[in-house]
Amino acid sequence: MNLQQDIEKDLTKHAEEYMRIWEDVFRYFQTIRTSTADYTAYINSEQTDQRM
């Protein structure tokens, strides 16, 4: 069962389990944000090197 189905069925799991799911999703998006920022910095540094 996925989260969408749980939401449609009145959230039948314990609150702790939903909190764990939320923390996993939040951590996943933090990782994406960090990776994107790192990649953008890398691209910008490559462009700077090429301009010199």
Amino acid letter for position 22: W
Q: Render pLDDT for 5-48 as a digit per residue (tens, 0 to 9).
A: 777 777 778 889 889 988 999 999 999 999 999 999 999 887 77
Greater model confidence, 1 or 46: 46
**Predicted confidence band of residue 52 (pLDDT cuts 50, 70, 90):** low
Is the model's pTM score more than 0.75?
Answer: no
- The predicted structure's pLDDT at residue 10: 72
Does residue 25 or residue 1 have the better pLDDT?
25
User: What distance in Å separates the CA atoms of residue 24 and residue 35, rounded to the nearest whole number?
Assistant: 16
Tell me: pLDDT of 1 over 60.
Answer: no
